[in-house]
Each structure stands twice: as C-alpha cells, then as structure tokens.
C-alpha cells in the first residue's frame, strides 16, 4: 500500500472520528430543543384553555388539545377540569384510542374521542377545540346555515355541516363518548375546519394550536354577527368561497405583529390578568 493511499485513509478515519464524536452532542442538543419546544407548546395549551374561557367560547365545559410534536400518534389534553382553571400539571398525554399514557388517578374528559378521531382521520390537523359556543348553537338546531359574513371567519365558507347524533347512534345523551360516535362526527366534518353538533356545540380543527383557537373565537364572533344580519332582514351577502381561499392563503404565513400573532398576544394578556385588573 503506497503512502498516498495510507494518508487518504488516515484523513478519512480522522474525519469519521470527528463526526462520531459530534453525534452525541447533536443528539443531546436535539433532545434539549425538543424539550424546549414541548415546554412552549404546553404553555400555549394552558393559555389556550384560559383564552377560550376569557373570550366566552367555553365556560365550565369544553376542551382544547394539541397533537404531540414528537409523537404524531399521541395528543395532549387537560385532565377533566373547567378550562379557566387548567394549569400545566393538568396536561395529560393520550394515544389515538383516547387512552391516557400517565393518568395518575386524574379525571379525564368523556368526550376526548372527538380529539382522537380527528387526529386519526386528519393528518393535517394538529389542534382541536370542542366547545358549546353559545351564539353558534342556534345554527345547529334551525334551518339557517352558519356561513361567514366577516373576513375573520372566512374559513367557514361555504357553510358549516351539522352532525346529527341520532343518525349515527340513535337516541343517546347527545355526547361523543366513544370512538364510533367520534368517527361519525369526523366523517361529517370531512376536510372542513368546523362542524356543528346539533343541540350541543361545535368542533374546530386547524394546522396549529394558535390558529385553531383563533378559529374557535371567530366562529363565535361570526355567529353573533350573522344573527344580527338575520335580524336586520333582507338578503345577506356572505364571504364568497373564492374570497375565502384568498383570505385563508394569506393566513398561512406567520408574521410577527400580523394575523394570529397579533390577536394571540392580546388574548394572552387578557387571560393573564386577574378579574377586574386593568390593562397594562
């Protein structure tokens, strides 16, 4: 073996040893970053519960979840608790059969199957909100469809489907308490972001937690606006489906100080204040 070949081999072995030495550090760095990302997501999930409460979308009932960032076959959801009281210690991990990974005797929501079936059927969904949003419920029990009248709710176009439990399961308590009912609901939801549950509430899904919370809030806001428009009488000019596509495409870009970023920071500040505490 000539000296040139031996030199090349030694250099390659030296380079390989450097790479092998760096791998554990890179892995540790990745684990640390993953832990930071998970901590930030847990903070957002706690904030989401409190924001939805302060914005009047949930009261003592309702829940919000997020898909696990490192385990797409799992999701994070609070233990059964009023959303306005949720803390980081209440957040639990579930598999896609809605089984808790680390229950520790904590109570769990009976309608967690809404979340698991949405994640199971929709890879594009990374967050789910179920609420009894008060202005929305009337549209689940009348012949008036919920349609968008304002830009902030353009995602509702062309209209929102209504899930009728009796068609899926006969006479029940109208709650989604097993996977079969959850699957039937998700089939009605289809590829849309929102579906109503007749006489019950709604389910809202989205590509990330903050945008899904925004959709849940503006679904309620749009319902109030539409009720006012109906009371005024006459024809209503809704947001056109083509307009909706253009508006929603602009929301795909996350920019500081714009869109969801702006409203999230405002909602977070409001939810962080104590009752009656003035804005800073």
Active-site residues, by number, are: 111
Name the residue with tokens 């959709």. Answer: 215
HEC secondary structure over 121-161: HCCCCCEEEEECCCCCHHHHCCCCCCCCCCHHHHHHCCCCC
**If residue 206 lies in a helix (H) or strand (E), which one and from where to where?**
strand 201-206
Helix/strand/coil for 29: helix
CA distances to 29, 30, 49, 212, 259 from 251, rounded to whole Å, are 32, 29, 22, 12, 7
Among 190, 157, 184, 154, CA closest to 172: 184
């Amino acid at each position: 073996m000539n000296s040139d070949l031996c030199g090349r081999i030694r250099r390659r072995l030296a380079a390989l040893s450097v790479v092998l030495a760096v791998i554990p550090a890179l892995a540790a760095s990745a684990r640390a970053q993953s832990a930071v990302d998970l901590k930030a997501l847990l903070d957002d999930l706690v904030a989401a519960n409190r924001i939805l409460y302060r914005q009047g979308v949930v009261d003592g009932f309702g829940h919000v979840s997020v898909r696990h960032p490192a385990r797409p076959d799992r999701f994070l959801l609070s233990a059964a608790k009023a959303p306005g009281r949720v803390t980081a210690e209440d957040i639990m991990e579930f598999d896609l059969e809605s089984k808790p990974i680390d229950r520790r005797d904590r109570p769990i929501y009976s309608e967690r199957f809404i979340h698991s079936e949405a994640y199971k059927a929709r890879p594009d969904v990374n967050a789910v909100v179920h609420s009894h949003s008060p202005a929305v419920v009337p549209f689940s029990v009348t012949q008036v469809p919920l349609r968008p009248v304002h830009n902030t709710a353009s995602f509702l176009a062309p209209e929102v489907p209504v899930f009728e439990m009796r068609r899926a399961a006969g006479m029940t308590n109208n709650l989604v308490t097993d996977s079969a009912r959850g699957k039937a609901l998700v089939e009605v939801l289809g590829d849309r972001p929102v579906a109503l549950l007749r006489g019950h509430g709604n389910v809202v899904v989205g590509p990330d937690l903050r945008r899904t919370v925004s959709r849940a809030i503006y679904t309620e806001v749009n319902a109030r606006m539409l009720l006012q428009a109906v009371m005024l009488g006459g024809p209503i000019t809704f947001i056109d489906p083509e307009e909706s596509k253009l508006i929603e495409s602009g929301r795909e870009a996350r920019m500081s100080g714009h869109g969801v970023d702006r409203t999230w920071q405002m909602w977070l500040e409001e939810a962080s204040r104590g009752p009656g505490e003035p804005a800073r």
